[in-house]
Amino acid sequence: MAIAEQTVLIENKLGLHARAATKLAKLSQNYQAKITLTLDQKSATADSIMGLMLLTGSQGKEVKIIAEGAEAEQAMLAICALFSNKFDEGE
């Protein structure tokens, strides 16, 4: 089983709020991979909007992402792009 691991910086102003969490959850559901995000000793699966919001990821914080499964690498690339594009939020 493939495993990909990456640490990303939350750059968008509002952090992992409802809209960003929803985008991340929808994106992660497109891949055959279990994706987990960890921030400050708390973890959540990427397909859980509520779980992602409970991480309280704010701008400037680092999030560790682990993807496991057949499409782990593809999922990781897509998720890292989402973070670096600031969740497509105009600011």
Which among 2, 6, 11, 17 is annotated as catalytic? 17
**Rounded CA gap, 35 and 66, in Å?**
6
Q: Catalytic residue at 60?
A: no
Dig out the tokens for 10 from the structure.
């939350």
Q: How many CA atoms lie within 13 A of 13 on its CB side?
A: 4
Catalytic machinery residues: 17
